Amino acid sequence: MKRLILFVILALALLTAALCLIKINQSQITSRIMGCKVTIIIKDKNPRPHLYAALARLREIEKLLSRYDENSEVSRLNRSEKFTLSDDTKRCLALAEAAKKITSGTFNARYSGKLNLDGIGKGYAVEEARRLLFKRGVKNAMIDMRSSIAVLGGPWKIGIQHPRKKDEILGVIVLKDGQALSTSGDYEQGRHIIDPKTGKPAAACQAVTVVYKDAGMADALSTGIYVLGPKKGLELAKKLGLGVLIVDAFGKVTKYNL
């Protein structure tokens, strides 16, 4: 009898654990988009259909904007093919041009002639996924593509990685409803951010995090400010009313409007 009771207790415990695991999995989905890990979390009721819809939207944009896909619209533009651009590509190109003007050219999607939307495409995709969720009535969600994050509801606490200490958090930024965050730095891909004016890797910063209302523009602005450097970057952030965290080449941290 005691063995039977223990067996029932164990079975109930395992069932409870399994149900908890299913509940957690149903509230979020993880995949790879544009070469990086993306996690979508929804805290509303019945999140499953919204999760799949948001992921499908991200994949739809990836097929258009990825320069690594020979069939993408970006690749076709770089081959000078004639075709009708999608609305997504048109909007992303317009956003990139606006960012170029705002940053006085330190963000330039057409540096050296070829179109490269890597510095704005992830943010654009994240923003579009958020808009989709908003239209579907989702109230509390986060789309996290590592360097680009956008939220609904909240507040959401986001840990910012230290650019020189892999396992250390530099600080925590709280995102409110409708806000987005983008980080540009040299700690994952090395000094890959080029200063369009010199043709050399930008070296005045280790990392820049921008908080703004639009994830696509935030993506471009974090790159532009990274290239501008701490002083001019902070001036631009103040002019635009951005939230910004700048780590200069020596590790000095400057925060504004956070």
Instruction: State both tokens at 59.
Output: 């994949």
Instruction: Report the percent of the chain where pLDDT is more than 90.
Output: 83
Q: What is the pLDDT of residues 214-238, one digit of tens each?
A: 999 999 999 999 999 999 999 999 9
Tell me the C-alpha distance between 218 and 224, whole Å. 10
Q: What is the pLDDT of residues 53-68, one digit of tens each?
A: 999 999 999 999 999 9
- Residue linked to tokens 């990139």: 96
Does 21 score more than 80 pLDDT?
Answer: no
Tell me the C-alpha distance between 27 and 43, whole Å. 6
Tell me the C-alpha distance between 30 and 58, whole Å. 12
Does 83 score more than 80 pLDDT?
Answer: yes
Contacts of 249 (CB under 8 A, 6+ apart): 203, 204, 205, 206
Does 19 score more than 50 pLDDT?
Answer: no
pTM over 0.85: yes
Does 211 score more than 50 pLDDT?
Answer: yes
What pLDDT shows up at residue 92?
Answer: 98
> Among the listed ranges 51-65, 148-162, 190-204, which one has the minimum average pLDDT value?
190-204
Angle at 143 between CA 142 and CA 149, to 5 degrees: 95
CATH number 3.65.10.10 given to 29-256:
no
Contacts of 59 (CB under 8 A, 6+ apart): 33
Does 51 score more than 60 pLDDT?
Answer: yes
Q: What pLDDT band is residue 113 in, cutting at 50, 70 and 90?
A: confident
What pLDDT shows up at residue 45?
Answer: 92
Among residues 237, 216, 176, the alpha carbon closest in space to that of 245 is found at: 237
Does 13 score more than 70 pLDDT?
Answer: no
- List, as one string, the DSSP characters of 203-242: -SEEEEEEEES-HHHHHHHHHHHHHH-HHHHHHHHHHHT-
Does 16 score more than 50 pLDDT?
Answer: no
Does 24 score more than 60 pLDDT?
Answer: no
Kindly report the average pLDDT of the chain as a whole number: 90
Does 90 score more than 70 pLDDT?
Answer: yes
- Helices 118-135 and 215-228 pack at an angle, to 10 degrees, of 150
- Our measurement of the distance from residue 144's CA atom to the centroid of its chain's CA atoms, rounded to an integer in Å, reads 6
Q: What pLDDT band is residue 190 in, cutting at 50, 70 and 90?
A: low
- Residue linked to tokens 């504004």: 256
What is the radius of gyration, based on Cα positions, of the chain? 21
